[in-house]
Structure 1
Amino acid sequence: MSIDVTSYLNATSSTTTSSSDSSSEVDYNDYLTLLATELQYQDPTEPMDNTEMINQLTSYSQLEQLTYMSDQLDTLTESIESVTSTAGLDYLGKEVLAVGSSVVVDGGDVTSLGYILGDDAEYVTLNIYDSSGNIVDTTTLGETESGEHVFQWDGQDEDGNAVDDGTYYVAVSAYDSDDASITSSTTASGTVVAVTQSSSGVILTLDDGREVNMLNVATTTASSDS
């Protein structure tokens, strides 16, 4: 009598999967038991091929090791996410300055946006985009010194019409007298009122509704209300 171990394992796994999720996997010990049974009842005139047996043993051993490693990595990932989320709670109620490009329009009120120039600029262009990526307005500034600045959009499109409430995004481009590009970045600031975990990391929600990634926080200070 000869047992096809691979076929038996596949059939067993398929059957147990449909009957119970908790016992749906055939592990390495199950395989060894089936292999011993095959060796016990194999036909002496047609013994099991040694090379095939070794290959199967190696495959199942590697599979079990990879499964174990995967489980350990999942556990480690969950632990890291838990620790990171807990660290994010420390930002609640604090004012943060973070890398960000969004502004919020709410009932005619528009949040300000900070921008930083790496060098003196001959002119600066700020394009405002809606959530669909369409340019709704463009502001051009003249000579601007290097360092930190604040941009306050009026909440109107290029035709002078008030835009709908929502979140908009600002892209800054700066150039020197030779029309060479100057390094620039934008920042968002506000008091953290909520902390959530997402696929991109820990997200901090500011009091004006904007969201920034915790990894992008540059500075933190105690809230003036605390």
Structure 2
Amino acid sequence: MENINSIQNFKNIPSSGSSVQNPDKAILGKDDFLKLLIAQLNYQDPLNPIQSAEFASQLAQFSSVEQLYNINSNLLKSIDASYATNRSITNALISNLIGKKVVVYGDVLKLEAGNDIEFGYELKGDASSVEIKIFDSAGNLVRSFKVGERKSGRYDFKWDGKDERGDRLRDGNYTVKVEAFDENGKPVVVNVYISGTVEGVRYKPDGAVILIGGIEFGIADIIEIKDERGNVN
């Protein structure tokens, strides 16, 4: 007698909508398992019918499969509900950032209204030479600063929005790049960050982002949140 786990003779049995949709994976849903059981009864040898003990064992297997399927379905529903709740709470908390000054990882600077731009960089190791380069939206180098030797740590910097000749540059987005090398000439890891006031929050399918100068930043990019007095929360 063929065991119910042998599915080679039942490949042509249509599966229901609850079964796994990928035909390349031999994974059965509870309805497929039941179809196999019924098919085995239909095609059993009349001269050698399935024994009651074996049939009871297979029914027990089906019951176990159904219970596991139901547990999995309930677990997925619980996870979805928990995710939706956490996301709602997160979105509500993020909206409280509007109007606050934050420090975020990012290398895009927005120059406007003749204002200076504040940004900074974090060295992951000691550097014997550090150079700051600022590029326009076309990728042209418009300003560079050689700041020399620096120990590992964070350093704030302010750019007046002028080029090498001292002329004020046009308003728009600029990109800052910081290059650092140790005493052996090997590159030192540098993270660039900027500071600004959160102007708004934009909700997206993959999560909320904050807006600083019209530029989007992820919540994971936030380093510091400051109050009205500039104190770090």
Residue 220 of structure 2 corresponds to residue 215 of structure 1:
yes
Q: Does the C-alpha gap of structure 1 residues 219 and 55 become closer, same or farther in structure 2, counting only changes over 3 Å?
A: same
SS in 2 for 1:53: helix
SS in 1 for 2:196: strand
Q: Matched residues in 2 for 1:66 and 1:72: separation?
A: 10
Deviation per CA, 1:117-140: give whole Å up to 9, x if none.
356533224455788xx8432735
Partners of 1:121 and 1:176 within 8 A in 2: yes
Q: Which letter does structure 2 place at the counterpart of 1:152?
A: W
1:143 equivalent in structure 2: 148
1:9 Cα offset (Å): 7.6
Residue ranges of structure 1 left out of the alignment (5+ in a row):
15-26
Partners of 1:108 and 1:155 within 8 A in 2: no
Q: Which letter does structure 1 place at the counterpart of 2:75?
A: M
1:24 equivalent in structure 2: none
Partners of 1:102 and 1:113 within 8 A in 2: no
2:66 equivalent in structure 1: 60
RMSD: 4.4
Say which structure is richer in helix: 1
Partners of 1:95 and 1:220 within 8 A in 2: yes
Q: Which letter does structure 2 place at the counterpart of 1:96?
A: V
Partners of 1:126 and 1:140 within 8 A in 2: yes
Bigger mean CA offset, 86-95 vs 73-82 = 86-95
Partners of 2:111 and 2:171 within 8 A in 1: yes
Residue 197 of structure 2 corresponds to residue 191 of structure 1:
yes
SS in 1 for 2:140: strand
2:129 equivalent in structure 1: 123
Residue ranges of structure 2 left out of the alignment (5+ in a row):
1-9, 19-28
Partners of 1:96 and 1:191 within 8 A in 2: yes
2:95 equivalent in structure 1: 89
Deviation per CA, 1:22-64: give whole Å up to 9, x if none.
xxxxx98x99xx99xx8xxx99x65586244333332222221
Listed as ranges, the matches of 1:1-40 within 5 Å are 10=16, 13=17
Q: Matched residues in 1 for 2:73 and 2:135: separation?
A: 46
Partners of 1:103 and 1:110 within 8 A in 2: no
TM-score, normalized by length of structure 1? 0.62
Q: Matched residues in 1 for 2:162 and 2:75: separation?
A: 53
1:20 equivalent in structure 2: none
Residue 76 of structure 2 corresponds to residue 70 of structure 1:
yes
Partners of 2:115 and 2:160 within 8 A in 1: no
Q: Matched residues in 1 for 2:132 and 2:200: separation?
A: 29
1:22 equivalent in structure 2: none
Residue 176 of structure 2 corresponds to residue 170 of structure 1:
yes
1:182 Cα offset (Å): 3.2
Number of residue-to-residue matches in the alignment: 196
SS in 1 for 2:127: coil
Q: Matched residues in 2 for 1:106 and 1:120: separation?
A: 34
Partners of 1:118 and 1:184 within 8 A in 2: yes
Residue 204 of structure 2 corresponds to residue 204 of structure 1:
no
